[in-house]
Amino acid sequence: MVQLANLAKQFLLMDYFSTIIGLYYIIIGVDGNISEKEVVLGKKMTKAEGFEENRFESTIALYQTLDFGKLYKDTLVGLRKLSTERQIRCISWMCVIANSDGFMDKREWELIYKIYHTELALSLNEIMKAQRELNKILHGKDFLSFGIKTD
């Protein structure tokens, strides 16, 4: 219980770790279908960012207890506090994760667009550049993942 209380305090601070994990949790759940590939990619993201897996898992457990709307708002507050470079990296991770199951659901794209364009006014070119870098780290090759599936 003490660990949960400490995580709750950390959540209120919304540092880079808390923010990117919040965005991860939001993007994998927005379409109502959490795929195994999204879960695997979350673990790869954790490793690539140098986060401890135990901290990742306990933060996800905490986020599962929170109201989704409040988590979204708090995560946006945390995102706005980050440098532009880190904001772009966070959005790029969202794109890579959203496309991990082979396509980006329309709801995933709408969420990503709302955050990067409407909320933060970030450059799509910079996001795509960072996304290519992440794909090189993860897959050893350079490609984009902006394919959107609309039913």
Does residue 75 contact residue 22 with C-beta atoms inside 8 Å? Answer: yes
Counting the structural domains of the chain, the total is 1
Q: How confident is the model at residue 6 (pLDDT cuts 50, 70, 90)?
A: low
pLDDT, tens digit, 9 for 90 and up, residues 19-30:
999 999 999 999
- What is the model's pLDDT at position 138? 87
Q: How confident is the model at residue 149 (pLDDT cuts 50, 70, 90)?
A: very low
pLDDT, tens digit, 9 for 90 and up, residues 89-134:
999 999 999 998 888 999 999 999 999 999 999 999 999 999 999 9
Q: What is the CATH number of the domain that holds 141?
A: 1.10.3680
CA dihedral 129, 133, 138, 144 (to 10 degrees): 20
Predicted TM-score (pTM) of this structure: 0.84
Does residue 111 contact residue 104 with C-beta atoms inside 8 Å? Answer: no
Residue numbers of the domain that contains 110:
2-149
